[in-house]
């Protein structure tokens, strides 16, 4: 079925459930079971008609509208879709939309760093499992002056996150600090007491300590000090 047919097929359904809904609302409104409601949400999200947010209790709520498709791709929603569990997804009233292209994990990593918030930095560590286009990531990072920050966070992610893909030697070489280079920060005013070796290697102050990560992430390597 071509895209225009799909849109026509779902328009009446969208009108029936338009607004801010939970999955239970959709089940009741359309008189369908949970499995069908989940499938419907999946299809409508693919077509761009749904924005997903998370309440403080991590419950999902869905903003459903025919107008959503005109606003482009939500950076926050794309970021949250890469998170492995609810505790790492972020609820934020401030969001940005991208038009005309699909967002990649590399885009999400830069997006998270630019937010300058500890919670985004913690969650962003999981994106290193999905980084595939290192030249593209370098291009984005260089544009935003975030190259060293990316490499420092990569080393931190390797300590805590399983299945992190190996950084290419070229990326590591391009982002290495100069011998007499100054330290830079990921978040101004924050530095780590637990990861001084990574800070020294990249001359980047990390805004995280072990306790910050233990709250959200199962520790992979308990020997690091």
At 66, which CATH number? Answer: 1.10.10.10
Asked whether residue 224 falls in the same domain as residue 127, the answer is yes
Rg of the chain in Å (alpha carbons): 20
Low-confidence ranges of the chain (pLDDT < 70): 1-8, 69-72, 93-97, 99-100, 217-225
State the pLDDT at residue 1: 43
Asked whether residue 90 falls in the same domain as residue 144, the answer is yes
Asked whether residue 141 falls in the same domain as residue 225, the answer is yes
State the pLDDT at residue 48: 74
State the pLDDT at residue 78: 84
The full length of the chain comes to 225
Asked whether residue 106 falls in the same domain as residue 163, the answer is yes
State the pLDDT at residue 66: 77
Cα–Cα distance between 141 and 165 in angstroms, integer? 18
Instruction: Indicate if the alpha-carbon torsion angle 79, 82, 88, 91 is positive or negative.
Output: positive
Asked whether residue 63 falls in the same domain as residue 150, the answer is no
Q: How many domains does the chain have?
A: 2
Helix and strand numbers (H, E) in the chain are: 11, 7
Asked whether residue 5 falls in the same domain as residue 30, the answer is yes
Cα–Cα distance between 54 and 90 in angstroms, integer? 7
Asked whether residue 113 falls in the same domain as residue 189, the answer is yes
Residue 193 dihedral angles phi and psi, to the nearest 5°:
-100, -15
Asked whether residue 132 falls in the same domain as residue 25, the answer is no
Task: Please tell me the pTM assigned to this model.
Answer: 0.69
Q: Which domain holds residue 216?
A: 75-225
Chain centroid to Cα 18, Å, comes to 26
Residue whose token pair is 């590399």: 106
> Exposed, middle or buried: residue 221 (CB in 10 Å: 0-12, 13-18, 19+)?
exposed
Take residue 95 and report the two structure tokens written for it: 């969001």
- CB neighbour list of residue 184: distance below 8 Å, 6 or more residues apart: 148, 149, 203, 204, 205
**Among 125, 84, 111, 90, which Cα is nearest to 208's?**
125
Asked whether residue 16 falls in the same domain as residue 83, the answer is no
Asked whether residue 89 falls in the same domain as residue 65, the answer is no
Helix (H/G/I), strand (E/B), else coil: 184: strand
Helix extents (H) in 18-65? 23-30, 34-46
**Last residue in a domain, options 12, 44, 71:** 71
State the pLDDT at residue 201: 96
State the pLDDT at residue 129: 93
Cα–Cα distance between 61 and 67 in angstroms, integer? 17
Asked whether residue 113 falls in the same domain as residue 186, the answer is yes
Asked whether residue 15 falls in the same domain as residue 82, the answer is no
């Amino acid at each position: 079925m071509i895209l225009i047919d799909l849109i026509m097929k779902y328009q009446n359904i969208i009108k029936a459930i338009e607004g801010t809904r939970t999955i239970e609302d959709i089940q009741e409104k359309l008189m369908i079971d949970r499995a069908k409601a989940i499938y419907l949400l999946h299809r409508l999200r693919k077509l761009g008609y749904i924005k997903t947010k998370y309440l403080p209790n991590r419950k999902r709520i869905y903003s459903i509208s025919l107008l959503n498709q005109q606003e482009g791709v939500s950076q926050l929603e794309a970021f949250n879709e890469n998170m492995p569990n609810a505790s790492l997804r972020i609820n934020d009233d401030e969001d940005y939309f991208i038009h005309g292209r699909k967002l990649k994990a590399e885009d999400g990593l830069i997006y998270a760093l630019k937010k300058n918030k500890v919670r985004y930095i913690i969650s962003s560590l999981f994106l290193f499992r999905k980084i595939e286009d290192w030249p593209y990531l370098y291009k984005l990072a260089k544009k935003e002056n975030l190259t060293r920050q990316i490499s420092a966070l990569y080393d931190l992610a390797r300590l805590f996150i399983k299945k992190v893909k190996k950084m290419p030697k070229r990326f590591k070489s391009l982002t290495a600090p100069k011998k007499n280079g100054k330290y830079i920060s990921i978040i101004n005013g924050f530095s780590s007491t637990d990861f001084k070796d990574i800070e020294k290697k990249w001359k980047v102050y990390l805004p995280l300590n072990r306790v910050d990560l233990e709250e959200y992430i199962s520790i992979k390597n308990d020997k690091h000090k």
